[in-house]
Amino acid sequence: MRLEGRTALVTGSAKGLGRRTALELASLGCDVAVNYVSSEAEAQALVREIRAMGRRSVALQGDIAIAEQAERLVRSTEAELGGVDILVNNAGPFIRERKLFADYSVDDIHYLMNGNLVGTMLLDHRVLPGMRARKWGRIIHFGFGRAAETRSWPHRAVYAAAKVGLVSFTKTLAEEEAIGGITVNMVCPGDIRGELKEMGIADAHGMTDEEAKRGRPGTGEDVARVIGFLCLPESDFVTGNAIEISGGFDPIVRLMRRRG
């Protein structure tokens, strides 16, 4: 297996895109730390599935928006599985209620910024010394469709600001760490909804999505396969990118049209 002997930490991996990513990395040979905040049953079920694949796995509770818990998450991964070779920063709070920036509470602003930007930066900072010592590492950030274009996203001001800031951080960290064999990239999924986040590409065959340029909906496997590729040893020349995984779809334009 091409990533055998590597340890991956996937935040927010009990469900959704994180779950599918954890399974993809396990299929490539990684031992995987599964992270959850409240979905313990789902996390433990995923751990059993990964162990059935012959890989080591552990479920670890922790909210990356809280600095002490993020630190504990990495420390526990190191104690249970070894140094973190691959960090997939999937977790990030998102407030589904649509509201203007002026209507956010101060606590909401801090939580969204900490969970989507600061917490990710702290996790990266924590794993970098080990990656540098091993002269190998893969860091993956999650954005949203067209995040690299620094577009407005009405009613999502704080979340969008955090992710757009993460684009710049991705590119900077990639330049700083490239010489040490560490790559840093961002994946920007399109509008992958509900159960589709955990589905495979084959599962979407025969399904249609009239708003998708490809004609079918996106799935978790579409995202996970890109992450798997970015983590391969041979992908060391690919760094500092914000990669769209949207089938050509523009979710923000669609939302704006619906509002109109």
Mind listing the pLDDT tens digit for each residue in 169-221? 999 999 999 999 999 999 999 888 889 998 988 888 877 766 666 768 889 99
**Which of 32, 36, 30 is closest to 16 using CA atoms?**
36
| Residue 142: both structure tokens together | 């999650």
Looking at the predicted structure, is the pLDDT value of residue 20 above 70? Answer: yes
Mind listing the pLDDT tens digit for each residue in 112-144? 999 999 999 999 999 999 999 999 999 999 998
Element (H, E) at 215: none
Answer yes or no: are the C-beta atoms of 98 and 155 closer than 8 Å.
yes
Query: Which residue ranges make up each domain of the chain?
Result: 7-259
Cα 131 to the center of its chain, rounded Å: 19
The packing angle between helices 40-52 and 16-27, to 10°, is: 20
Mind listing the pLDDT tens digit for each residue in 51-90? 999 999 999 999 999 999 999 999 999 999 999 999 999 9
Give strand pairing partners of 183. Answer: 138
- CATH (residue range 7-259): 3.40.50.720
pLDDT band at 11 (very low <50, low <70, confident <90, very high): very high
Looking at the predicted structure, is the pLDDT value of residue 260 above 80? Answer: no
The packing angle between helices 67-81 and 119-134, to 10°, is: 30
